[in-house]
Amino acid sequence: MIKEFHIYDSDAMKTFGKIIGEMAIAGQIFAMDGELGAGKTTLTQGIARGLGIKERLNSPTFTFIQDYKSGKLPLMHMDAYRIETPELLDDIGYDDYLFTEYIIVIEWAKQIEKRIPGEAFKVNINYLEEGRKISIEYDQNQKLWMMAFIKKVEEVKNICIL
Ligand SMILES: Nc1ncnc2c1ncn2[C@@H]1O[C@H](COP(=O)(O)OP(=O)(O)O)[C@@H](O)[C@H]1O
Ligand SMILES: [Mg+2]
* Mean pLDDT across 14-26: 98
Ligand 1 atom closest to the Cα of residue 107 is 21
Ligand 1 atom closest to the Cα of residue 9 is 3
Tell me the pLDDT of the chain averaged across its residues.
96
Which pLDDT does position 139 carry in this prediction? 95
4 pLDDT higher than 90: yes
* Nearest ligand (C-alpha, residue 32): 1
The residue whose CB lies within 8 Å of the most ligand 1 atoms, and thus the one to mutate among 42, 106, 159, is 42
Give dist(CA 43, CA 116) in Å, integer. 19
- DSSP-assigned beta bridge partners for residue 136: 3, 123
Which pLDDT does position 107 carry in this prediction? 97
**pLDDT tens digits, 50-100:** 999 999 998 888 889 999 999 999 999 999 999 988 899 999 999 999 999
Domains and CATH numbers, the chain: 2-161 (3.40.50.300)
- Tell me, in angstroms, the distance from the centre of ligand 2 to residue 107's CA: 7
125 pLDDT higher than 90: yes
Q: Taking the model in full, what pTM does it have?
A: 0.97
Which pLDDT does position 123 carry in this prediction? 98
Give dist(CA 132, CA 56) in Å, integer. 23
Q: Poorest-confidence range of 9-18, 55-64, 131-140? A: 55-64
Give dist(CA 110, CA 14) in Å, integer. 23
- What is the gyration radius of the CA atoms in the chain, in angstroms? 15
- The DSSP annotation for the chain comes to -EEEEEE-SHHHHHHHHHHHHHH--TT-EEEEE--TTSSHHHHHHHHHHHHT--S-----TTTSEEEE-SSSS-EEEEE-TT--SHHHHHHTTGGGGTTSS-EEEEETGGGGGGGS-TTSEEEEEEE-SSSEEEEEE--GGGHHHHHHHHHHHTTSTTEEE-
